Amino acid sequence: MANHPKSAGWMLDPHIERDTLPVGDLPLCRLRLMNDVNYPWLLLVPRQPNASEIADLDRAGRTQLMTEITETSQALKAITGCDKINVASLGNVVAQLHVHVIARFRSDVAWPKPVWGAVPPHAHSSDTAAKLIAELRRRLALGESSAT
Amino acid sequence: MANHPKSAGWMLDPHIERDTLPVGDLPLCRLRLMNDVNYPWLLLVPRQPNASEIADLDRAGRTQLMTEITETSQALKAITGCDKINVASLGNVVAQLHVHVIARFRSDVAWPKPVWGAVPPHAHSSDTAAKLIAELRRRLALGESSAT
């Protein structure tokens, strides 16, 4: 999927790349895990150049984005048993369109507040990240070759 | 639309009702304006009982939600000339599924942070609210009878 024609000219924003770990490519989005052990926190980044608002995608792209939000939400909920899923497209700092899908627990450090700015990020150990990424890849049927 | 059969048994959460002003009913969602003059801030509330996650809607409902997010985003951007649209479904405090669509400006009181908890809400004057609601209703083709 990394070479889907619509991806031509697209590259992951370097700030997102720095703050996240690779999971794989869904049909529309690059899926990354935020490197913050405070919350199981995914980023969906549509591989479409020059998109910063959801409305910058065409109708088919928006429908596919909703499908990928739903599938990653369900995977995250099934894996973590979280109390709530938070979904958000903000983009005030990083302009490249990206959607946060975050597993929230009543016991987490920021609950019930939103996660942004609540506490400093705390990097995953390689073990916790690898386990979560492996479970996500299995549930979302992502092959080895798409670990980008 | 208020009597759409899928709305049976649904009522607006009283916390949302208290914090917002009526705009109208879209095919899926009740549209409300947050009573906070700090930001032009809409809430989309799907009129479906017992939904708290986006994934609780069926596929057609999710596609319609994405359509209504896009249309309200575009209306808000056209009316306000904002720099960015923020979209979020959080629901850690109010369980009833609702989506925030917020017009953000580089000059607003919270930029670039998310709006939640940034500064206390400041109620609209009846004049600023009425003007914004009238422009939204015109752009979204909402009739007088749907002001709920």
Residue A143: pLDDT band (50, 70, 90) is confident
Residues of A in contact with B91 (CB under 8 A): 84, 86
Q: Which residue has the higher pLDDT, B5 or B139?
A: B139
Neighbours of A147 (CB within 10 A): 15
Q: How far is B38 from chain A (nearest CA, A)?
A: 16
Query: Does the pLDDT at position B121 exceed 80?
Result: yes
Nearest in space to A99 (alpha carbons), one of A65, A143, A61: A65
- Chain A residue closest in CA terms to B63: A63
Could you report the per-residue pLDDT of B58-98, keeping only the tens digit for each? 999 999 999 999 999 999 999 999 999 999 999 999 999 99
Neighbours of A95 (CB within 10 A): 14
Q: How far is A55 from chain B (nearest CA, A)?
A: 6
Residues of A in contact with B112 (CB under 8 A): 92-93
- Chain A residue closest in CA terms to B90: A86
Q: What is the pTM of this model?
A: 0.94
Could you report the per-residue pLDDT of B29-42, keeping only the tens digit for each? 999 999 999 999 99
B116 and A114: CB-CB below 8 Å? Answer: yes
Per-residue pLDDT at B146: 56
A55 and B62: CB-CB below 8 Å? Answer: no
The residue-averaged pLDDT of A84-90 equals 98
ipTM of the complex: 0.94
A89 and B88: CB-CB below 8 Å? Answer: yes
Best of A62, A92, A104 to disrupt the B interface (most B CBs within 10 Å) is A92
Mean pLDDT for chain B overall: 94
Provide the strand spans (E) within chain A.
20-25, 29-34, 41-46, 84-89, 99-104
The string of DSSP letters for B49-77 reads: TT--SGGGS-HHHHHHHHHHHHHHHHHHH
B86 and A86: CB-CB below 8 Å? Answer: no
Query: Does the pLDDT at position B3 exceed 60?
Result: no
Per-residue pLDDT at A1: 44
Residue A94 to residue A15: CA distance in whole angstroms? 7
Nearest CB partner across the interface for A73, out of B55, B69, B113 = B55
B54 and A73: CB-CB below 8 Å? Answer: yes
- Chain B residue closest in CA terms to A96: B84
Phi, psi of B126 (to 5 degrees): -60, -30
Per-residue pLDDT at B124: 96
Per-residue pLDDT at B6: 62
End-to-end Cα spacing for chain A: 10
**Assign residue A32 a region: left if phi > 0, alpha if psi is -120 to 50, beta otherwise?**
beta
Nearest CB partner across the interface for A90, out of B54, B65, B86 = B86
Q: How far is B74 from chain A (nearest CA, A)?
A: 7
Residues of B in contact with A77 (CB under 8 A): 53, 55
